[in-house]
Structure 1
Amino acid sequence: MEYKDTLLMPKTEFPMRGNLPNKEPEIQSKWSEMSIYEKVQERTKDRPLYVLHDGPPYANGDLHMGHALNKVLKDFIVRYKSMSGYNAPYVPGWDTHGLPIETALTKNKKVNRKELSIAEFRKLCEEYAYGQINSQREQFMRLGVRGDWFNPYITLDPAYEAQQIKVFGEMAKKGYIYKGLKPVYWSPSSESALAEAEIEYQDKRSPSIYVAFDVKDGKGVLAGDEKLIIWTTTPWTIPANLGISLHPELDYSIVKVDQTSYVVASALLEEVTKVLEWEHPETVKTVKGIELEGVITKHPLYDRDSLVMVGEHVTTEAGTGCVHTAPGHGEEDFIVGQKYNLDVLCPVDEKGYMTSEAPGFEGIFYEEANKAITEKLQESGALLKLSFITHSYPHDWRTKKPTIFRATAQWFASIKDFRQELLQAIQDTKWVPSWGETRLFNMVRDRGDWCISRQRVWGVPIPVFYGENGEPIITDETIDHVSSLFREHGSNIWFEREAVDLLPKGFSHASSPNGQFTKEKDIMDVWFDSGSSHQAVLEERSDLKRPADLYLEGSDQYRGWFNSSLSTSVAVTGKAAYKAVLSHGFALDEQGRKMSKSIGNVIVPSKVTNQYGADILRLWIASVDFQSDVRVSDNSFKQVSEVYRKVRNTFRFLLGNLADFDQMTNAVSNENLREVDLYMLVKLNKLIDKVKKSYELYDFAGIYHSIHNFCTMELSSFYLDFAKDILYIESENHHDRRCIQTVLYESLLTLTKLVAPILPHTADEVWPYIPGMAEASVQLVDMPEAGIIAQSDELEKKWDHFMLLRDDVLKALEIARNVKIIGKSLTASVTLFTSVKVDALLQSIHEDLKQLFIVSNVEIGGSVENAPGTAHKFEDVSIVITAAEGETCERCWIVTPTVGQDVDHLTLCTRCAEVIKTSYTE
């Protein structure tokens, strides 16, 4: 008889190697065949609804790591909720309108925009968007993200557009929508107005000039021969200058330098003196800013006046305290200009070129005009200083090119009219991390009205008609009719029909006695598109609800989707679109830099899934502090792969040792388990509680570490290690063996469920190998519940104390191994000299100590005071390690004097001989 053949070694077909890049697509095909999303929703349909509303990614280009981070985090939460007593649908969405798609067609696809009608061009944009959606959908699904992928929401969908029109109409009805001439962020590169959310700041080198304005009428306060000095970094706005603003309460000094008198803020005199290299300026007079109100100066380039005004916006942070004011090129300039009835002069066209309203500079691009204007100022003697500075400057976040402020007629949402409701809604929302509340609160508190019109064609039209007198027409009747038309035909109909054909049949209005109407040509800001999703999706779909339980996006969305959703939702419903908001950081390279093709530091999700597998990418996402920026490197995936390998090996070991186990007939009740088995169940219960709490707190890194530590420390390094002697050596139905298998079964089932939201492919790969599983997928069961174990606290305290003693024994064994007293631990005999406390502990343990220590013999040598000098001394125990006496059993490898005592099995110990006789008799 080959004794090794009598060992009950692990048996399982569950593969050691994950081979995830090849295995995962097979698992995903099974999910598709079984309609796993629909099955999960059917199972949970009668449960309370939990809605995580998906913020729509833009339908252009392949996925980057930020996409993966975002969608996988959402998937963790939705999967967990569906296994925790909720009906948690997940409806993915796409943002499809806007400049990037227009640019992709005209530049990348070489579409000649001029040869097409607006409707034809928009049709190409729509086709392009759907192609991008199909590509991105496949990539998201490859990440294992579960959702209603073939019934998503799309901002170009007619039903979506119809609801967006309703949102606009409701806001207009409440008086929140108006058209006005105001300076707004304007992108010459996009030829369109921009909202604050579309602005990003980058460093820019700009000219810095100090310019003198001659006083024309001092109004009795000034002598009339002074010069007010302004400072600006935008010389191109000088042709639009209509005034100079001072702070009413600031002191202003009239100083004489070389027979010329200048006016500057007293607080800035020292700095101006330094910059202009004045020598010994003499302060002739000091006045308050309010005293200079109404003084008239002469424009340095043109024969026109510049009025001195006062405004609270003037500061002494930089410049001269005399602020160059061009109402057509700045919001604060516009406001103070309105107060003093100044014109709104804007001599720059939509492409950024100077117009005829800037004589001498017509046709020059505004940035190039800086030099020409500065030279003219030099010729006129008005230029006091020219230098250059590098400063943070607003750029178009799409084109990455500088923006300007430009006064144009635009449509606005008047935030100020419901600002307090917005601020209250922010305070009523739960924010994770908590600083998100302060961030958005401050943004909303300080923001101006929202410019919602864009001078593009690929977007949702602003549903406004104009009468013969130019009066805008927005009524319930027109809004309802346009909404119905869009729902039936899509918004392209706006560009296909004349205004009269878009109005309700027989429509009349006092502004058009002859029945002649025109329509608005501008489209809505894309943030209005996605910001309307609370109504176009949450209200539109019967499987969702408003407000959503959670919005989860990157931290850039405080100024984007979180903000626009809040504005439209509070405007329409009085409440926020969400109950809670969770934000994550950005994915950076290993050195903390933004990923860039030009740098060559880009790591894309598809590369990771092809090389390592989606579950490795998902496990990495679980391991990082996602609320901050995260660094991505190939090395980080290698490290996570090692953790995955340990978890997978744990699954394989558990499965292998349950090959002959039937939960229904072989499981041992808690009352009949040994203490060490109950101790492991106590630890398993604590793992369940800790992991579930971590899921609730979005602490996925906590789950990652808890699962890893349980597998490697509590299972592998202790329980599974000593259990091998019983699992392999004892007879199949031995009580101790069935006790251990009971614990292994509970551990396997629990771990599979706990990791399912994070490692869905691996969990579903394990699932059919678990004995007795009736459900087709782990996704169709709930999270485990912690069991009840009598006196668990006392039991855990006792065995935690034993584990400290075991650590001391392992240290002593390692020392003995290093000095060649023993080889493997099974060749050792351990003698313990203990304190009273440790002795009491050992007396209370009924399990076999030599099995727990994985040695061949354990003896209690008396009190710690009697330990010989050769003993290894620890806090409460001294330990002597010697070579075990006897022979090595051929079957169990224990060194014992009982080897050879059974004449039928001379190379076996008596325990193994007995197992052979009772279980393997021929």
Structure 2
Amino acid sequence: MDYRDTVLLPRTSFPMRAELPKREPLLLERWRQDHLYEQILEARSSGPRFILHDGPPFANGNAHLGHLLNKTLKDLVLKSRNMMGFFAPYIPGWDCHGLPIEAKVMADLPPEARDPLTIRRECAAYALRYLGIQREQFERLGIFGDWQRPYRTLDPAYEAEVLLLFADLAEKGLVFEGLRPVFWSTGCHTALAEAEVEYQPRTDPAIDVEFPLLPESCREHGLPQDTRLLIWTTTPWTLPANLAVALHPSLPYALYAVGGHHILAAEARAEVLPGLEGAARVRRFPRGEELCGLRYRHPLLARTGSVYAADFVTGDSGTGFVHVAPGHGMEDYLLGQEHGLPPLSPVDDDGRFTQECGIPELVGLTVWEGNARIIALLQAAGLLWSERAHLHDYPHCWRSKTPILFRSVRQWFIRVQSFQPEALRRIDEVEWIPSRARNRIRGAVESRRDWCISRQRTWGIPLPAFYREDGSSLLDPEAIRKLARAVARSGTDLWYATDDATLARQLGLPGGLRKGTDTLDVWIDSGCSHAAVLAPRGEFPADLYLEGSDQHRGWFQSSLLLSVARSGNAPYRTVLTNGFVLDLDGRKLSKMAGARGLSDFVAQYGADTLRLWVASEDYRDDVPFSQEILARISDTYRLLRNAFRILLANLHDFDAARNRVDEEEFPELDRYMADRLRSLVRTAVDGYRRYEFPAVYHALSRFCSTELSAFYIDVLKDRLYCDATESAARRASQTLLHRIAESLFRLAAPLIPFTAEEAWQSLGKSRSVHLELFPEEEAPQNDVAFSDRWERILDLRNRVNEALEISRQAKEIGKSLEAEVDIYSPHFLPADEGLLAEVLLVSRVRLFPSEPVTIQTRRASGRQCARCWKYSEEVGKTDPSHPELCPRCTAVVQARGDTA
């Protein structure tokens, strides 16, 4: 008789071939039709609230791998929190204003169409187009959220909230207009925020210049009449704006005789400065403060200046004397303010010298052209000491990629120093993940002085200032609040569509005013999201902000500063930081021209594979990405899918309501695996709770590959395939397999939501796996003897497998069922022979109490059963009708009524 039809082989419609790019969109459409996100919120409506606030990406291009990392991490947090029972909504957001969008639009807009309203209309259309594209790309990743009602910084209601917050800051006296150095982009003709600055290598001339001291100053300090200060600079173009020289008050300085005159320099630098090596030291000044008050003649202009003490001067580079141009650097500006010096900045918006520079040869030249001309003028005046090329990291505009100028321009500022101590206190109350991020944000806030918030742009929220005929400004909090109410109805276009007199009258301001043309820094827009999104929903402060590490200078900081300035509180309880996605050469993929976009990878690998990659990486550091890495992740995905398939296939005839067996009645092997499952659940849920997603990834993959597929399922095959359908042992195993399947699919749902849903439905479930809770975290059995016993069993399994491999290589056996094993061990009793034969996958085990542990293998005696393939001396002895069967298989076939 052919007994193959009597074997209970596994079967399932769950395919091994995933075809994720084809299957995932079908599930996504079903989720949309079923309003799954809304169902989840309804199911969790009574649970504790957990609010992750979305940092808005710029709506200015296709999504890239940086978005994949960040958006998936957020979804891992929210899906897992929902499955822990939290009410965890997700309101996605987009940053729609600012330079990236305006620059794109202006490049395609003809000059005759560049009126403010046309520019704004085109910018809005551009932003909304890419918002829609990114929304589809993010949703395609299986990210649940309120995609049809996101927050957008261009929405009138949002803009109104920004203006209301701004009015509160103005009322507190925290907003002012001033003339001081800012980051100025000549390429974009606007001031920039610190977060809009990127550093690139650049070579500039570094020069040492002689500044002759005034004769009377030399006499006052007992110096020779021909004494000169030796200053250095890497920005020769700032010399026309020089108004002072700085030294360090505690550094030692010295006077040197060189080439017929005398030079003052820091003693520590004299040995390395060209032309001073070996020069005769005439006099030493132990502390630089002795030289404060020296007066000098400008090397190129009929102007004099003084020497002041400043801690920013160091003895590590240069000459120990730094030329000070208060209009071209913040440290210089602050020193100038201390001593009553104006912020002179004789450079226009294009970076060209104006008449104010006082040197006719320079007027009209760019500052970079001016470098060479100034050096030539110094050479002609006999005051150029030395010149050399200097490679350094120089700030550039992130959009135009042009070098930035530090330039004094009349701008609007927020007085950060007024509330800086409170902001630093709030930082210490927040949980920062990783913990080193606390120092990073503290450093960013501590170094922050006044925040330049005005931008010379059209696309943005207007800075609601008016100007009188004499040029003085008016910033009225009540007028701003009236403006906010009007903006809530009509949007900020009304600022540009309404003439000055009418707008001033509508806002209750006197006549004769001119409205300003600046817009607010876009970091004000996004930094106000806690006021525009969280507060109206009663969700302030958020439980979590999660963004890239660059946001310590950006959104984390702007949100903190605006929230503290207004309410005294941080807008978040926890801040979690992810790194950048880098190629194997360490280059940031989101910034690489020609890099493949997110959609390309989704079309090739499917969303679940990419999400699994995100979960596998330690996202708190920079994350490597390559095709080779994705290939390895694909292998892990196949491993998980195969484990899911094996579980489903072995449950084809199991009805949980009818066939379930209580755990107290489980065979020992199944009780051991039930304990391993409890351990997995605790590890995985704890990993989700602590945002340790790699721990979840490794726990699931290790359980599926090692404990489930390579051990438990392998051992169970005989029981599942060859036992009677209703045997207690078989139903016990299926009970546990069903429990494992339910647990695994739920635990994997945040990581691979499409595959988990597909598997869950194949298990016969009618509602989505994403509406379920995680398995209950039961404590594993606290039975030390039981644990020790199974450690010995598994160790014995490894040793027996090694012995069987030796027998296999010697051609004594083929498959392990062709063997029987004698085991000499003090740890097991004869009653364990059946269990060990099952675990070791051999036909027979004989136990002998003895030390040390010894293993002997041989070819099994008896005949092979034609149905289960085990060897036994009892084959054919039970029923003459089935001469090829062992007693167990004979009984099963007899019960089925099969005949030869």
Q: TM-score of the superposition, structure 1-length normalised?
A: 0.94
Residue 841 of structure 2 corresponds to residue 851 of structure 1:
no
Q: Is the 8 A contact 2:678 2:780 kept in 1?
A: no
For 1:907 and 1:218, the matched residues in 2 are separated by 122
For 2:438 and 2:422, the matched residues in 1 are separated by 15
Residue 34 of structure 2 is matched in structure 1 by: 34
What pairs up with 1:661-810 in 2 under 5 angstroms?
661-771=654-764, 773-774=765-766, 776-787=767-778, 792-810=783-801
The number of equivalent residue pairs is 893
Residue 873 of structure 1 is matched in structure 2 by: none
What pairs up with 1:226-245 in 2 under 5 angstroms?
226-245=227-246
For 1:347 and 1:191, the matched residues in 2 are separated by 16
For 2:532 and 2:609, the matched residues in 1 are separated by 35
Residue 830 of structure 1 is matched in structure 2 by: 821
For 1:705 and 1:533, the matched residues in 2 are separated by 36
Q: Secondary structure at the match of 1:308?
A: strand
Q: Secondary structure at the match of 2:395?
A: strand
Residue 651 of structure 2 corresponds to residue 655 of structure 1:
no
Equivalent residue in structure 2 for 1:526, among 522, 528, 533: 522
For 1:800 and 1:287, the matched residues in 2 are separated by 74
For 2:774 and 2:544, the matched residues in 1 are separated by 21
Residue 7 of structure 2 is matched in structure 1 by: 7
1:808-827 CA-partner distances (Å, limit 9, x unpaired): 21221112112111100010
Residue 302 of structure 2 corresponds to residue 308 of structure 1:
no
Residues 858, 155 of structure 1: alpha-carbon distance in 2 compared, 3 angstrom cutoff: same
Equivalent residue in structure 2 for 1:138, among 129, 136, 139: 136
For 2:134 and 2:690, the matched residues in 1 are separated by 29
Residue 347 of structure 1 is matched in structure 2 by: 346
For 1:847 and 1:490, the matched residues in 2 are separated by 79
What pairs up with 1:170-189 in 2 under 5 angstroms?
170-189=168-187
Could you tell me the percent identity over the aligned residues? 42
1:676: Cα distance to partner? Answer: 1.4
For 1:476 and 1:354, the matched residues in 2 are separated by 38
Q: Secondary structure at the match of 1:863?
A: coil
1:342: Cα distance to partner? Answer: 2.0
Residue 327 of structure 1 is matched in structure 2 by: 326
Residue 424 of structure 1 is matched in structure 2 by: 425
Residue 884 of structure 1 is matched in structure 2 by: 860
Equivalent residue in structure 1 for 2:604, among 604, 611, 616: 611
For 1:783 and 1:428, the matched residues in 2 are separated by 31
Q: Is the 8 A contact 1:257 1:279 kept in 2?
A: no
Residue 625 of structure 2 corresponds to residue 632 of structure 1:
yes
1:183-232 CA-partner distances (Å, limit 9, x unpaired): 11111112111122222222110101111111224431134321111100
Aligned AA (1:115) = A
Equivalent residue in structure 2 for 1:517, among 509, 513, 523: 513
1:462: Cα distance to partner? Answer: 0.8
Residue 583 of structure 2 is matched in structure 1 by: 589
For 1:693 and 1:824, the matched residues in 2 are separated by 41
Equivalent residue in structure 2 for 1:895, among 863, 871, 874: 871
For 1:621 and 1:517, the matched residues in 2 are separated by 55
1:705-739 CA-partner distances (Å, limit 9, x unpaired): 11111111111111111111011101110111000
Aligned AA (2:733) = I
For 1:156 and 1:209, the matched residues in 2 are separated by 48
Aligned AA (1:548) = A
Residue 809 of structure 2 is matched in structure 1 by: 818
Query: Larger deviation: 219-228 or 23-32?
Result: 219-228
Q: Secondary structure at the match of 2:213?
A: strand
For 1:234 and 1:506, the matched residues in 2 are separated by 46
Aligned AA (2:65) = M
Q: Is the 8 A contact 1:756 1:764 kept in 2?
A: yes
Residue 25 of structure 2 is matched in structure 1 by: 25
Residue 80 of structure 2 is matched in structure 1 by: 80
For 2:289 and 2:631, the matched residues in 1 are separated by 68
What pairs up with 1:357-506 in 2 under 5 angstroms?
357-358=356-357, 359=359, 360-503=361-504, 505=506
What is the aligned-residue RMSD (CA, Å)? 1.8
1:628: Cα distance to partner? Answer: 0.9
For 1:617 and 1:314, the matched residues in 2 are separated by 50
For 1:798 and 1:786, the matched residues in 2 are separated by 24
Q: Is the 8 A contact 1:682 1:796 kept in 2?
A: no
What pairs up with 1:183-332 in 2 under 5 angstroms?
183-219=181-217, 220-221=220-221, 222-272=223-273, 275-276=274-275, 279-284=278-283, 286=285, 288-332=287-331
1:616: Cα distance to partner? Answer: 0.4
1:546-601 CA-partner distances (Å, limit 9, x unpaired): 1100011111111111111110011111111100011011111123233378786x
Residue 558 of structure 1 is matched in structure 2 by: 552
Q: Secondary structure at the match of 2:393?
A: strand
Q: Is the 8 A contact 1:678 1:789 kept in 2?
A: no
For 2:284 and 2:723, the matched residues in 1 are separated by 105
Residues 485, 113 of structure 1: alpha-carbon distance in 2 compared, 3 angstrom cutoff: farther
For 1:376 and 1:628, the matched residues in 2 are separated by 50
Q: Secondary structure at the match of 1:201?
A: strand
For 1:287 and 1:882, the matched residues in 2 are separated by 92
Residues 277, 743 of structure 1: alpha-carbon distance in 2 compared, 3 angstrom cutoff: same
For 1:320 and 1:848, the matched residues in 2 are separated by 84
For 2:461 and 2:451, the matched residues in 1 are separated by 17
1:792: Cα distance to partner? Answer: 4.8
1:689: Cα distance to partner? Answer: 0.4
1:238: Cα distance to partner? Answer: 0.9
Q: Secondary structure at the match of 2:214?
A: strand
For 1:590 and 1:633, the matched residues in 2 are separated by 7
For 1:118 and 1:224, the matched residues in 2 are separated by 61
1:408-450 CA-partner distances (Å, limit 9, x unpaired): 1111111111111111110000011000011111221222211
Q: Secondary structure at the match of 1:357?
A: helix
Residues 733, 113 of structure 1: alpha-carbon distance in 2 compared, 3 angstrom cutoff: farther
Q: Secondary structure at the match of 2:355?
A: coil
1:492: Cα distance to partner? Answer: 1.4
Aligned AA (1:62) = N
Residue 545 of structure 1 is matched in structure 2 by: 539
1:812-867 CA-partner distances (Å, limit 9, x unpaired): 11121121111000100111111x2x23xx45648533222111111124424xxx
Residue 164 of structure 1 is matched in structure 2 by: 162
Q: Is the 8 A contact 1:256 1:284 kept in 2?
A: no
For 1:769 and 1:362, the matched residues in 2 are separated by 78
1:2: Cα distance to partner? Answer: 3.1
Aligned AA (1:72) = T
1:317: Cα distance to partner? Answer: 2.1
For 1:818 and 1:285, the matched residues in 2 are separated by 87
Q: Is the 8 A contact 1:6 1:920 kept in 2?
A: no
For 1:158 and 1:368, the matched residues in 2 are separated by 45
For 2:677 and 2:187, the matched residues in 1 are separated by 60
Residue 900 of structure 2 corresponds to residue 917 of structure 1:
no
Aligned AA (1:633) = S
Aligned AA (1:896) = S
Residues 24, 822 of structure 1: alpha-carbon distance in 2 compared, 3 angstrom cutoff: same
1:284: Cα distance to partner? Answer: 3.9
Equivalent residue in structure 2 for 1:570, among 548, 564, 570: 564
Aligned AA (2:675) = V
1:643-701 CA-partner distances (Å, limit 9, x unpaired): 11111111111111111111111000122111211111111001000001111111111
